[in-house]
Amino acid sequence: MLEYKCQMHGKTLSKIGRFDPSSKICSTCGYLNRDLARKDREWICPDCGTHHDRDINAAINIKKFALQDQNLVGVSGAKRAIEPVDSLPLGRRMIAGKPRPQARGSSPP
């Protein structure tokens, strides 16, 4: 359904695999924490020391992958799964891969 709607409106749909390690990758430095268990709701990156909530970290990583048009597959054996990237400035929103226009009367960030 989403693919159809995106095609209809000229938008891009980015997907990642169900079992890709989005919660195991440090969203700050890209370190892949292979030791993270499903029961671990919070973790500290052993490389950069950043404290992560598992779900928030995964959401940040998914957004970064969508913005970079990459996926999480093919990271076997790597210490770093991704390179750190900057996200959109605060206040910007995304609609299917494109920045949302600013509301009337609001100033750009």
Tokens of 101: 């226009």
pLDDT of residue 100: 47
Q: Domain coordinates of the chain in residue numbers? A: 1-98
pLDDT of residue 4: 86
Residues making up the chain, counted from first to last: 109
pTM over 0.95: no
Q: What is the pLDDT along the chain (109 residues), one digit of tens a residue?
A: 788 888 898 887 777 778 888 899 999 999 999 999 999 999 999 999 999 999 999 999 888 887 776 444 444 444 555 544 444 444 444 444 444 444 555 555 5
d(CA 103, CA 20): 35
